[in-house]
Structure 1
Amino acid sequence: MPSIYRCLSFGKCIVSTGLILFTSLHIEAAAIDDSPVHTASADVDPVGIEYQLKDELITWLSSNSQTAKSEIEKRLKLNRNLEKKICSERIKFLYATSTKRMIKAECTNIWRRYIKRPSWVNVKISLPKEVKAETKKIVEAFILRRDVKKDEAITSYDLIRKTISVELDAGLLKEYDEVIPMIATRKLHSGEPLSVKDVLIGEVVLIAKTTIPSGSSLTNDVISLDTRYSNIPEDALTKAEGWDFMELNRNIIAGEILRQRHLRKAKLVRRNDPITITIKNSSLEIVTSGTSLQDGYYGQRIKVINLESGRSILGKVIGRGEVEVNTK
């Protein structure tokens, strides 16, 4: 009897429980069925939200500057019109100038305002990147075939011409004259392209063989040609000929480079000196003796006396002790 009772009691319990469960499920289902249906409610923005310009600007400035948001909130002041500006969607901000002094605020298709950035808001101004111009080009250069010591002569046998890529300001030696001597200004290595700074170009100049006194003429006994690589004056004499009617205006020491400024016209004829007079016309030339009445330089017209006729005539100095008279 107790067992059957327990079973019957258990069955009743199940039945009772089933009724309760059924009833509960029925009630819950009814509750679910009676509720309104909304689809994709999570993807739809809440209706009626308004974005304040000042609040949005504070958030934007804190993200686009090095100033803390708390400081911006404390110090930012806008005029009344800007304070009241609202937008139904997020307000867009951007710097309107490269210096970041002006901020553009825009509520799409509704309004747009320009706001001056407060000077205390610290921003990094990004400077435009410099575009580097092309710094290399293809050129022909002289390449060394061997190592060269400082002050050693460089000849055409030491060089080979090649096309290479170099910097625009490389200053390479572009021309080379085999006749003109050249020496190295430093120790150079085989395979190096030769630059203008690497060499000294020689120049042939006129120098004094020995000390020459002032007033002397330039003869082959006292002058010679030599090659110099530095300290060459601009007016250096470069040839040994053509100085017959010139003389030195100061003393010159041995080895010194002779210059234009060292020369003056030589007196080819002196007063009362005997001279040779050449008288010319279109068909006749007479050479006679005479006396100079004054000093004369090359090309100068001076008075002379024809000793044969005793007459004083004008003639042009053409050489040492020589005067020419042209009678046409």
Structure 2
Amino acid sequence: MSAGTNRCADPGTLRRAYLRCRRTAAAHGRTYYLATRLLSAEQRPAVHALYAFARMVDDIVDLPGRTPSDPGPAAVLDSVEYALRTAWSPPGENPPIGTGRPASLPTGFDEIVLALTDTVARFAIDPRHFWLFLDSMRMDAADSPLFRNRYPSMTALYEYMRGSAAAIGLQLLPVLGTTGPRAAAEPAAAALGNAFQLTNFLRDIGEDLDRDRIYLPADELAAFGVDEQLLAHCHRTRHTDQRVRRALRHLIAINRDLYRGAHPGIELLSPRVRPGIRTAAAVYAAILDRIEENGYDVFARRAVVPNHRRLRLAAGAALLGERPPSTPH
């Protein structure tokens, strides 16, 4: 992979690019930003760059307000991939056919990708994780052949999360560092990414329904008598039906298994980063506790972990590293 783009950037330009990424992480990723405070000065900017890129791409498919004359999300995603492949290809080598020539790029793309390219080169991150991520984002783009807004099974949902969540964990792993072969820590890194994502899906059911999306496996819901119509009724009335409560209890158990499976992998990371990752896992998994404490009332209120509890969990994660991040009440 070539980092030629960054060799042409002066230190001040690169510093401003990383600053933009840090501001994005602070504004939109409170849990991850809190965790990065426990990382080294070299690692923090890299994590901010990875987060800012993921956020920018996610916004391509999520933000409203495009005019009919604007290119659709799939075309913008193709432009992003083409630009990355062009920047990261060895000198004289063209991007693979089929990635699409740039037609439109998001606001702030140049700065964010400048920091991202520096991060990818500095930490030798495999670019394939970004292509997988972009493919999952195409699954969210209504104008893409890969689009889907319903998932019939957990297997289908994991296929989506392989790029949208597991790939993020694998992007982060080289930045965090490991005590042994990186490959040994990759399954746990992917599992933790999946755990975070499934927590988002359980918390944001109502918001996803507003966008005509259901990121929960239909067969798992059907086992408890829950279908799309019942979810829509609960969202409309802001009341969680007992069948939905039972289904959520079941899916939360699956989610906690993901956290537990990922937890031993934290010990494979470099000692310096373990407190930060424990913090992220503990604070994010606490959202599941809040859903339970709210009586599974995910349609009337958003499950939020209060700041005082975030700080307590962060301290506990730093001091009690052997404790799993979340246990059933």
TM-score, L = length of structure 1: 0.17
- Which is bigger in relative contact order (C-alpha 8 A, separation at least 6)? 2
Q: In terms of Rg, which structure is larger?
A: 1
* Between structures 1 and 2, the one with greater strand share: 1
